[in-house]
Structure 1
Amino acid sequence: MSANSTYPRIAVVDIPGKGKGVVALEPIPRGTRIISEKPRIRVPCYEDPLRRRVPDLGTLSESDLAFFMSFPCDEGLDPVMGRLRHVIPCAGSDDEAFGLFETVCRFNHTCYSPLDRPNALYTWVEERKEEIVHATEDIAENEEITVAYIQAKTHTEDPKALLVQHWGFQCQCAGCQRPRPERRTSLRRIKSYRQYSDNLPMRMLPFSGESPLRLLKDIEHNILSICAEGYVWEIGTCAHDAFQLCAFHGDGASAARWEVMAREVHRVIHGTDGYQYKKSADLVAKPSTFREWAALGTAKKFRGPSDEVLVCFKNAVMSSNPPRCNHRDCPKKDLATEFKRCKPCIDKLGLEVNYCSVECQTADWKAGHKSACGKAVKSVVLVSPLNV
C-alpha cells in the first residue's frame, strides 16, 4: 500500500473489532519510514468544529467520492460529518487544513500508558505537503501498525470519553482497561508534566530566582515521570530544554550531551532528512550556534544526563531486540554478535553506537555517521564566569 516501493510493504486489511487497519507485510525496524502520503481530500479548517466540511461533495470525482464514503459512519450521524471524524490535521500547514488520506487515515489507535504504547507515529511535513509515518518500535511481520490520537499535551481527564466523542469507538487498549485509581494516578502525573512544560520558559529567566542546577534536576524528574506514562518521545522535548539551559550559560560540553538525545529522537520519529534532525544535529556539533548562546553568562559547570535518564533514553530510543549494528544495511544485523562501540560518540556524547565490523563502521561513516559522530562536536570556549 505504500506510495513508494522503497518503503516497507504494508496492507490495509479488516481488523476484528476495529474495522479497517494497517498491518506490516514484513519486519519493520524502529526508525523506518513506513509511508509518506499526500492527502487525497483536503478539508478547510474552521474555528467551530461543527462547520468543518468538504465544501461541495459534488466537486469530487466519482472515485474520490467513493473513497470518502468508504469510511465508516455511525448510525444516526450526518453522513458527511460522521465521516469527517477520520480526518487528520495537517498541523503547521499554511491553511491549517485537515486531510483525508488513502492509507494514513486507516491506522488504528493505541493509547500511551505505563502498560503499552503505539508502535508508530505520524507527522505532517509542510514543505512536502505530506504526512509521514515512522516506526517507533520494531514491528513484526503481520503485526498491526498503530498510532496515538491523543498526545501528552492533549491528554484529557477522560481519554476514553474523548475517543468515543471524536472518533466513535470504545478503546480496549491495556492502558484503558486499568482500574480507575491507576488511571487517575496517570492523569495527575501527566497534568504535572504539562504544568512543568507551561512554566519552564519563565523559570529559565534570570530574574526568576530559580537555581539552574535545581531546574536541571526538575527537567530530569519530568523526563522520567512522563516516560513512565508511555510518552517516551517527550524525552526529545525535555532534552532540548536541558540543552537550552546549558547553552544559556555557555556550557557546550554538557549542552551537546543533552541535545544528542533530542537528535536521536528526531532520527526515529522524523528521519535524518527532516529539518528537525538536521537542526538538532547542527546544535550537537556546534552548541555555540544556538541563538542565545551564553546569554546569561557562565554558571558553574553543568552536566549531561544522569545514569537513570540515560537508561530510560536507551530503552526508549536506542535499544532493539536483538541488538543491531548501527549500519542500516548490515547483513548480520539480526544475528547475535559482539559489537564494538564508536569511542568518540561515547567520550563526547555519552552515546552508544555499535558496529559488528570495520567494514560496517566504514560504510556507515560514508552513509552519514561522519556528520553525526562525536568527532564532529566542536570545542567551545566558555565566557567569563558570572555568579547566578
Structure 2
Amino acid sequence: DDSTVQKSARKAEEARLTPDTHTSPFFVADLPGKGKGLLASRDIKQGELLLREKPLFVVPRQISSSPTALIAGLLAQLGQDEQDTFYNLSYVHFPKHLDPDMHQDQVALAIFQTNAVAAGDGVGIFPKMARINHGCSSAFNVVYTWREKEEALFVHALKSIRQGEELLTSYTNSKRSRDHRRAFLVEHYGFECQCSVCSLPEAESQASDRRLEAISEEYERFASWGQGRISGTDAIAHVRKIWQLEDEEGYWSERGRLAADAAWVAAAHSDSAATREWAQVAAEWYTYEVGGDSEQVAEMESVALRPESHAAWGTHRQLNVGGLSLV
C-alpha cells in the first residue's frame, strides 16, 4: 500500500496535472492496468522535441555512503512541490514486511530504483519522463537522450504519433525475444508487458522473435569488420540487411548510430559517395532521435559536405562499399 506521504503527494501532484493541451504535446492520464501514462494531446511529427527536462537530482554511479541516506539528503534539499512530485512516482519491490509509513527512506529508495535513468556519469530522476510507459520493438515511439552541456534529458518522437496515442519508450533491449523481455521487465519493473508486440498472436510473435534475433546476429557480423574478419563490402551488406529486417519489424531505434557506423566503414575505405550517403542518412535519423540541433547531426552534415574530412578516411585499402540505396 502507498504510504501517507505518497497519498498526500499524489493529491498535491494531481492538482497540477491538468493538461494545457495548447502548449504541451502530451498530457498525463490514468490508463487501465498501467497507472499513469502520457497521451498525445495533438498529432506529433516524427523527430519533434517533446520534452526537455532537468533532473530533480542526480546520484553518482559509484557511491561510498548509504544509498538511502544519500537519497534522503538530496530530497531534503528540494522544495515541497518537488518532493511531492518525487513521492507521486510509482515503485516496485518494496519489502512486504515493512510499513511504508514507518520506512520512508526505503520508499524513497524504491522510487529511485524504479524510475532513475542515465544522466551522464550518474543516474537521475526525471518526473515527467518517468511517466512514459514501456513498449517493445515496433511499439515504442519516443526516445530519450542526455545532453551534458545542457544538463538535461531530451525526449524526441521516433515516429509520428497520432492524437490520443500513448507515448512509449523502451525500458530494455527490445531486440531480445518476447520471453526474455517479459522476464526482465517482471524482475526489474514488476509488470508483464502487454504492449502491441508482446500481445501478438503466437505465430506472429515467433516471427517477430526470429526477426529480432536476426537483427542482433547481423549487428554482430557487422561489428566483426572492426576485427578485420570481413571486408568493407560485406560490412555494408550487413547494415543493409539490418535496415531491411528493421523495416519489416517496424523497429527504428538507433538508426542514426548505425548509419554513422556505416559512414565510418565507407570513409575508412575512401568511398566518397558512400560516405556522403551514409552521413546524410545518419544526419536524418539523428535528427529524429536526438534533435536537429545536436552535435551528432552537425558532425554528420559536415562529413556529408566533405567525406574526406572523416576521421577514419583512408585507414583501410580503397574499396567501393556502397550506400543504403542498394536496398
- TM-score bracket for the superposition, by shorter chain length: 0.7 to 0.9
Return the match for 1:106 from 97, 112, 131: 131
The Cα of 1:107 is off from its aligned counterpart by 1.1
- Once the two structures are superposed, residues 51-99 of structure 1 have per-residue CA deviations (whole angstroms, 9 ceiling, x without a partner) of 57615344443333222211123585442233124423234x1xx2222
Contact 2:259 2:281 (8 Å CA) reproduced: yes
State the SS of the aligned residue for 2:264: helix
Relative contact order higher in (CA < 8 Å, ≥ 6 apart): 2
Contact 1:136 1:269 (8 Å CA) reproduced: yes
Q: 1:176 to 1:153 in 2, by over 3 A?
A: closer
Q: 1:152 to 1:22 in 2, by over 3 A?
A: closer
State the SS of the aligned residue for 2:42: coil
The Cα of 1:225 is off from its aligned counterpart by 2.5
Partner of 1:305: 324
Kindly indicate whether residue 303 of structure 2 is the aligned counterpart of residue 283 of structure 1. yes
State the SS of the aligned residue for 1:142: coil
Higher helix share: 2
The Cα of 1:247 is off from its aligned counterpart by 1.0
Partner of 1:336: none
Sequence identity (%): 26
Q: 1:14 to 1:157 in 2, by over 3 A?
A: closer
Q: 1:154 to 1:131 in 2, by over 3 A?
A: farther
Contact 1:124 1:132 (8 Å CA) reproduced: yes
The Cα of 1:287 is off from its aligned counterpart by 0.9
CA RMSD of aligned residues (A): 3.3
- Once the two structures are superposed, residues 294-329 of structure 1 have per-residue CA deviations (whole angstroms, 9 ceiling, x without a partner) of 112322x33222453xxxxxxxxxxxxxxxxxxxxx
The one-letter code sitting in structure 1 at the alignment partner of 2:244 is L
Contact 1:223 1:238 (8 Å CA) reproduced: no
Q: Distance in 1 between matches of 2:210 and 2:63?
A: 29
State the SS of the aligned residue for 1:54: helix
Contact 2:233 2:322 (8 Å CA) reproduced: no
Structure-2-length-normalised TM-score: 0.78
Partner of 2:118: 90
Kindly indicate whether residue 106 of structure 2 is the aligned counterpart of residue 81 of structure 1. no
Kindly indicate whether residue 177 of structure 2 is the aligned counterpart of residue 177 of structure 1. no
Map 1:115-194 onto structure 2 (within 5 A): 116-152=138-174, 158-178=180-200, 183=205, 186-187=208-209, 189-194=211-216
State the SS of the aligned residue for 1:105: helix
Q: 1:200 to 1:140 in 2, by over 3 A?
A: closer
Partner of 2:82: 64
Q: How many residues align?
A: 298
Q: 1:183 to 1:143 in 2, by over 3 A?
A: closer
Kindly indicate whether residue 232 of structure 2 is the aligned counterpart of residue 212 of structure 1. yes
Partner of 1:12: 28
Contact 2:67 2:109 (8 Å CA) reproduced: no
The Cα of 1:39 is off from its aligned counterpart by 0.7
Q: What are structure 2's unaligned runs of at least 5 residues? A: 1-16, 96-105
Q: 1:69 to 1:165 in 2, by over 3 A?
A: same
Contact 1:74 1:168 (8 Å CA) reproduced: yes
Return the match for 2:289 from 269, 278, 295: 269
Partner of 2:252: 232
- Once the two structures are superposed, residues 314-365 of structure 1 have per-residue CA deviations (whole angstroms, 9 ceiling, x without a partner) of xxxxxxxxxxxxxxxxxxxxxxxxxxxxxxxxxxxxxxxxxxxxxxxxxxxx
State the SS of the aligned residue for 2:107: coil
The one-letter code sitting in structure 1 at the alignment partner of 2:322 is R
Q: Distance in 2 between matches of 1:202 and 1:111?
A: 27
Q: Distance in 2 between matches of 1:62 and 1:8?
A: 24
The Cα of 1:276 is off from its aligned counterpart by 0.9
Q: Distance in 2 between matches of 1:275 and 1:7?
A: 27
Map 1:292-371 onto structure 2 (within 5 A): 292-299=312-319, 301-308=320-327
The one-letter code sitting in structure 2 at the alignment partner of 1:54 is I
Q: 1:143 to 1:209 in 2, by over 3 A?
A: closer
Contact 2:222 2:239 (8 Å CA) reproduced: no
Q: 1:84 to 1:156 in 2, by over 3 A?
A: farther
Contact 1:32 1:135 (8 Å CA) reproduced: yes
